[in-house]
Structure 1
Amino acid sequence: MSQKEYLMSLGYDEIREIDPDGMIEDVLRFPEMCRDAFTPIVKEGREFEKIAVVGMGGSGIGGDMLESYLRYKSNYPVLVNKNYDLPKAIDEKTLLFVISYSGNTEETLSSFKEGIERGCEVLAISSNGELKKIANKKDISLLEVPGGIQPRAGFPYLFLPMVATLEEMGVLEVDGFDRAISNLEKLKNRLNPSVDEDNFAKKIAGFLKGSIPVIYSYDELSPVAYRWKCQLNENSKMFSIMNEFPELNHNEVVGWDYKLTRDFKIVVLKEKDPIEKMQKKIEVTGQVLDVEFKEVEVLGDSLISKLMTGVFIGDLVSVYLATLNEVDPTPVRRIDNIKERLYD
């Protein structure tokens, strides 16, 4: 059987042989999770002048998405912190979202305690752990999300409550959420494992097999490209690169002269109708690099739909690619090994 034939024949049974912990089931629950996750942490709070988000890994990507979502919708600056210490600009006039799915992330707990000391308006999201204990002790509002899944698979619970909270506070108006859910359901019907020939998520996985994936995008979709990269790292167990237009046209394109790039393949994440200047940059870059690349269109006319459908497609690609690579998408042994060596 050729790789293409095997790829198109990938059904639930074949995937479960590689994926005994059921990552594919968690990924396919994405539309349902999104619907369930749009819940505010609180309905009101004190006045603030800026917003900050702290979180790491699968719990931290929500901060990148929030910054992107608010970039052209709100006057509030958004700072994303993925470190032990908070930037100096975060103070008592800051609404600070603290996100740790496990509740035990070392860097996040450090920033959490510092945010409390600085007098920030702190709101937390977690499933359990030390974060929950401290929040309860300090009387800090915490949204407890469902446990029992990998943090990266629970992305809707780690992003959408922040959006719902800010809407409840009057910071923004969320446009098109119901249509976003509808678009996610359509994608689920089109891209689930039982769909063969017309399943473009499987086709993208086949395209990337055996390569170093390079994920490009632009502007508000750039965090989606970063999510793809991280899912390819953790689920597919592949090294991956991410960058964004137009910045990559001012530096990274020169690096494609190096011979190792012969193993690179590009996926460009884009809207159906990007602005003319951006579409031209994408086309000309492909011509100049003279490398095969695929374009993947996100769905919807609202930003929330574009972000969430882009994430959903990438998550499915990563699990299909894990199956092609014959690796279990769930374990992250190198991450676990680093933690063991640090804390033993």
Structure 2
Amino acid sequence: MNDHPPERKPADSDLRKLAELHDHSHMAEVISRIPDQIDIGLAEEFPRIQKGPFRQAIIAGMGGSALPVDVVLDAFCGKIRVPVRSLRHYNLPVEVDDSTLFIASSFSGTTEETLSAIQGFPKNAGNVVVVTGGGELSAIARERGYPLVRIPKEREPEGFQPRSAVGYFVVSFARILFEAGVMDDPRPDLAALPAFLREAPIRKEAEETAAWIKNRIPIVYTDEIHLSSVARVAKIKFNENSKRPAFFNALPEANHNEMIGFSKPLADFALIYLHDPDSHPKIRRRFDVMNKVFSKRQLNHVDFRMWNMPGATRVQRIFAALVFVDWCSYALALLDGIDPTPVDLVESFKQELEKPL
């Protein structure tokens, strides 16, 4: 939105060639299959889940197994009847009791924080549900008689990552909350989602945005409502897919503090505002005014771009934004000449962490 020459969109043939060179784990196929994840998740047989009554729900998970919690809380905020929150820690909160629905979530089934948290529950506890792709957590569920919802990662390409399983996790969490009686039926909204995502013109706009970002540090803004469900997830996708530092914040809060931090040109930033047309009108105005003020002050190390989230429903707009960021971060990785799937630094860290002191 600052004055700058239009970016040349990478030709489809160029990106295809780059994908052949660098997309060794077929992430493009994985992103394209997000609508299929939702269809599969809705069609899967579900275990019998106790219907409470529950006064709260806690979903334990880390990384890609935890992010979908925020998506569910945002997308279905009007349907959830009790407080629901995520647990990203080893220990259970002290207030957990039989009236707490506890969902243990781990894509791999080996997440040590989640394995630690579930240890506090006895066999056949009626308030525990497990969501996993296998591993030790799956074994615990079978041994202790907990309802088990499987993430069917065998349906996906080899190298399928937790961060790419958002469709499976969101459907699983939403169905569990519904079956447990703490949420109104999410299935009509979810059932309409795959067709919308297959038809929405998201990918090309995402690729254009990747070309616009170039070598700058991405910053993602949303309104406060979508801060955790969209902006935070977007930041993580740029970290893990594009292998770049990235940041996120919300308007109007950023206008009261973070904005001042751009006064010194310490780096070049690409600020992307993912705009929900249902946001308060002053949020959009704040973004426009921020861009105008930066231009007047010649803070040219920060460039601005807005993308309107398409969709007739809140669920559609949130998923459109998530798919947009997937394609954008994927294309940015290809343009940088790297494979978007591996997270070697994280794996090295885990290996070091497992070594004895």
TM-score (norm. length: structure 2)? 0.86
Match of 2:19?
Answer: 15
Matches of 2:96 and 2:289 in 1, distance apart? 41
Structure 1 residues 100 and 176, CA gap change in structure 2 (3 angstroms): same
Q: Which stretch has the larger CA shift, 99-108 or 11-20? A: 11-20
- Cα deviations across residues 107-157 of structure 1 (Å, max 9, x unaligned)? 11112223559x681111111000001111110011011125211111111
For 2:330, the equivalent position in structure 1 comes to 319
Structure 1 spans left out of the alignment, 5+ residues: 193-198
Q: Does 1:202 align with 2:207?
A: yes
User: Is residue 2:199 matched to residue 1:186?
Assistant: yes
Aligned in 2, Cα 1:240/1:45: closer, same or farther, shift over 3 Å? same
**Aligned with residue 89 of structure 1, among 95, 103, 114:** 95
**Using the alignment, how far apart are the partners of 2:166 and 2:48 within structure 1?**
19
Is 1:339 aligned to residue 335 of structure 2?
no
| Deviations 1:142-196 (CA, angstroms, capped at 9, x unpaired) | 1011125211111111121111222344422335333322220113xx455xxxx
| Contact 1:96-1:120 at 8 Å conserved across structures | no
Amino acid at match of 1:267: I
Aligned equivalent of 1:167: 178
User: 1:89-117: per-residue Cα shift (whole Å, max 9, x none)?
Assistant: 33322111211000001111112223559
Is 1:231 the counterpart of 2:237? The answer is yes
TM-score by length of 1: 0.89
- Distance in 2 of aligned mates of 1:16 and 1:143: 35
User: 1:1-344 residue pairs with structure 2 within 5 A?
Assistant: 4=8, 6-38=10-42, 42=48, 44-114=50-120, 121-148=127-154, 149-170=160-181, 171-174=183-186, 176-187=189-200, 190-191=201-202, 199-222=204-227, 223-260=229-266, 262-290=267-295, 291-344=302-355
Question: Is 1:54–1:63's contact at 8 Å kept on the other side of the alignment?
Answer: no
Root-mean-square deviation (CA), in Å?
2.3
**1:196 alignment partner in structure 2:** none
Q: Could you tell me whether the CA contact under 8 Å between 2:107 and 2:132 is conserved in 1?
A: yes
Aligned-pair CA distance for 1:70: 4.2
Taking only the aligned residue pairs, the percentage that are identical comes to 28
SS in 2 for 1:243: strand
- Closer/same/farther in 2, CA of residues 5 and 249 from structure 1, 3 Å limit: closer
Letter matched to residue 36 of structure 2: E
- Unpaired runs of at least 5, structure 2: 1-6, 155-159, 296-301
Once residues 215 and 19 of structure 1 are traced to their aligned partners in structure 2, the CA distance between those partners, rounded to angstroms, is: 24
- Once the 2 structures are TM-superposed, how far is the Cα of residue 309 of structure 1 from its aligned partner? 1.4
Confirm or deny: 8 A CA contact 1:7 1:206 kept in the other structure.
Answer: no
